[in-house]
Amino acid sequence: MLTPHSRRLGHCPKQCHLESTDTAHSHYSRCLLTLLSSACSTVTPFDSAALQQFPRDSLSNWVKHRHVTTALTVCLLDSSQMESTEETESGNHTLLTEFVLSGLSSCPELQHLLFFTFCLVYTMTVVGNLLICVVTVHPTLCTSMYFFLRVLAFLDVSTASTVVPKMLVSFLSEDRNILYTSCATQLYCVIFFGATEWYLLAAMAYDRYVAICNPLRYTVIMNGRVCLSLVLLSCCSGNVVSVVQTAWVFTMPFCGPRKINHFFCDIPPLILLSCTDTSLYEKQMVAATVLVIFTPFCLILVSYACIISSILKISSAESRHKTFSTCSSHLIVVTLYCASGTLNYLRPNSRNSQDTKKVVAVIYTTIIPMLNPLIYSLRNKEVREVLIVTMTVLVKK
């Protein structure tokens, strides 16, 4: 195996190959002299005439010669320094090992207040969504709508758990470093759970369309196999989007400051750290946002256009109100997600807009996951009834 120094000196010429054991020292000495002359002539000046006067019949005499050994030592030291410099310069562009998150706020007086606030929000998110998962398993809530609701609750907990724990640690610690690989993983998870949830909302809109526009065949059309297929399709679509976006971001060279002006690894602040022209990527990001957000949104609009058309045909005002109330929770969640996603990824990517994007990111990573259980439980009579029964049983135990 060649060392860095041996790679710089090169291989021994063919004429220096050993032909016999008896002449090994003599041939080896001449070979090293030839390589030393060629390798060090451009690195370190020395008396080349000394090489010609050097005895070549003994390797031990060769290494004892003052001029040659001095030149060889200086040559190898300079060679090592040049390689180290080249590796360092190359690493500045591609071998970052960690980033630094700026956090939600740089004000020291707010850190403890923010910690307790978001700790409470995260606790409510986890408890509320776990209750939804438990309650919707009840035999009276075995329809496809509640199956989708369980999956939505799981995605909400996952999204919050990807972002909030690291944010809570940063409130109490001055160490806000995040490893390069951890940053890539966090970005992948945020995009995956967010995109999957958005596609799932489109599937839930289709479920509401079938339930209202074709109620007699609802259980036949939205059977367990169809529901599972829609969930898997949502996950696969979210995975494709996440892999492409994460790979695209982390193939860019980062040579600027390591500080990410955000409380988690997100696309807009990351591309600001790139040392290349990011205009093409920003256009691609806008195109991906339009594809990811507005394609499901168009499907949701078509579903609700058919739903509204069917509701308007109902003669009784009370029946119309009752029918539409089954969709109101879903519409609220869709509006919140669409608004926050559009504001975060379609606005111009400038350094002045990053503080605004932090607030928007807080909404879709922490606030919406906390509100979803409240929206679906408080506005759904069946869920409220089962929840009251479940809480009563737990209190009695």
DSSP codes of every residue in 45-63: ---THHHHHS--S-HHHHH
State percent of the chain over pLDDT 90. 32
112 falls within a domain: yes
Q: What is the CATH number of the domain that holds 303?
A: 1.20.1070.10
The pLDDT-based confidence of 284 (bands split at 50, 70, 90) is: confident
Residue 274, φ and ψ in degrees, nearest 5: -75, 145
The pLDDT assigned to 229 comes to 95
The pLDDT assigned to 397 comes to 66
The pLDDT assigned to 343 comes to 79
24 falls within a domain: no
The pLDDT assigned to 46 comes to 43
89 falls within a domain: no
- Domain residue limits at 370: 96-396
The pLDDT assigned to 323 comes to 82
The pLDDT assigned to 329 comes to 85
The pLDDT-based confidence of 348 (bands split at 50, 70, 90) is: low
pLDDT at 128 exceeding the cut of 70: yes
Give 79 or 266, the one with higher predicted confidence.
266
Give 220 or 354, the one with higher predicted confidence.
220
25 falls within a domain: no
Count: domains in the chain: 1
Please name the residue that has the structure tokens 């109902």: 314
Mean pLDDT rounded to a whole number for the chain: 77
The pLDDT assigned to 106 comes to 79
The pLDDT assigned to 286 comes to 79
pLDDT at 56 exceeding the cut of 70: no
Q: What whole-number distance in Å separates Cα of residue 268 and Cα of residue 357? A: 9
290 falls within a domain: yes
Query: Does the pTM exceed 0.75?
Result: no
Q: Roughly how many angstroms between the first and final C-alpha of the chain, as a whole number?
A: 71
The pLDDT assigned to 221 comes to 92
DSSP 192-251: HHHHHHHHHHHHHHHHHHHHHHSGGGHHHHT-HHHHHHHHHHHHHHHHHHHHHHHHHHHT
pLDDT at 112 exceeding the cut of 80: yes
Q: What whole-number distance in Å separates Cα of residue 171 and Cα of residue 164? A: 11
The pLDDT-based confidence of 162 (bands split at 50, 70, 90) is: very high
pLDDT at 250 exceeding the cut of 60: yes
Give 180 or 257, the one with higher predicted confidence.
180
157 falls within a domain: yes
44 falls within a domain: no
352 falls within a domain: yes
State percent of the chain over pLDDT 70. 73
pLDDT at 238 exceeding the cut of 90: yes
The pLDDT-based confidence of 367 (bands split at 50, 70, 90) is: very high
